[in-house]
Amino acid sequence: MSKFAANLTMLFTELPFIERFAAARAAGFEAVECLFPYEWPAAELARQLRENGLTQALFNMPPGDWAAGERGMAAIPGREAEFRAQLPKVRDYALALGCTKVHAMSGIVDPAYTLAAHRQTLVENIRFAADFLTADGIKVLLEPLNSRDVPGYFLAHQHDALALVEEIDRPNVGVQLDLYHAQIMDGDLTRLIAKLGPAIGHVQIASVPDRHEPDRGEIHYPHLFEALARAGYQGWIGCEYHPSAGTREGLGWLRQWQSTSR
């Protein structure tokens, strides 16, 4: 049975963020994820999780100056100290929220440096982060983002993420497989899932090409859920999409897929 987590950054946006936890639970979700939790006290977020019986499946490490277009710094040469300095805060939030998976955003390529320098920076930073977080049981994930939505992002293809995970060689490092991004950049998703196999640390879904509800567009997700099960993935599936006409109005897919998987 697929387990779905509501992405509270994208879903229920008609409500203040703190109220989205209860809305997600009322809609039938058992877990949530978000991009960045740091605007709110960890204790308040933990209270929302506890009171609504929810699991925090994932959140992202700080991205740098998001408003200015930054999308992380894990792969950006010259920002190693900034990346590493954020790790205590990431750990504190993860422990407070009972969250065991965090996404380290690679960042937009800096043309002042070679791609090889970016890669080496990413490898060294993720090894450092993984070693810092391993005692607390926290896994660090790398997610490729498609070049249409995020031009210039360092990591765009799933096979590159897998190669990096293998080179980093830490047991608490994995691939965050967003099937929306993967379809745009790689395709052949059934075989891709099989290739990634145990490296898959988290999964996210949305329709392609419009990033709306996952029961429309060109991806047949029920088939991919079976492929994920064959690959051994048993974790949460994050619903990171933009509702086409209101979150609640578009949740027929959730009720249908939950009923057919029981």
Distances (CA, A) of 176 to 40, 85, 139: 24, 23, 11
In whole angstroms, what is the distance from residue 195 CA to residue 162 CA? 9
Cβ-count burial 221-236 (b if 16+ within 10 Å, e if not) = beebbeebeebebebb
The pLDDT, as a whole number, for residue 261 is: 61
The pLDDT, as a whole number, for residue 174 is: 98
Q: Are 5 and 29 in contact (CB under 8 A)?
A: yes
Q: Which among 181, 186, 225, 232 is positioned nearest to 207, based on CA atoms?
A: 181
The pLDDT, as a whole number, for residue 1 is: 53
The pLDDT, as a whole number, for residue 258 is: 80
The pLDDT, as a whole number, for residue 231 is: 97
Active site residue 39: no
137: amino acid identity, one letter: G
pLDDT means per 10 residues, the chain with 262 residues, are 90 98 97 98 98 98 96 98 98 98 98 98 98 98 98 98 98 98 98 98 98 97 96 97 95 86 58
The pLDDT, as a whole number, for residue 51 is: 98
The pLDDT, as a whole number, for residue 74 is: 98
The pLDDT, as a whole number, for residue 262 is: 56
Active site residue 240: yes
Q: Are 203 and 233 in contact (CB under 8 A)?
A: yes
Q: What angle do CA 139, 229, 137 make, to 5 degrees?
A: 15
Catalytic residue among 19, 70, 124, 240: 240
Catalytic residue among 143, 166, 218, 249: 143
The pLDDT, as a whole number, for residue 212 is: 98
The pLDDT, as a whole number, for residue 259 is: 72
Q: Any idea how long the chain is?
A: 262
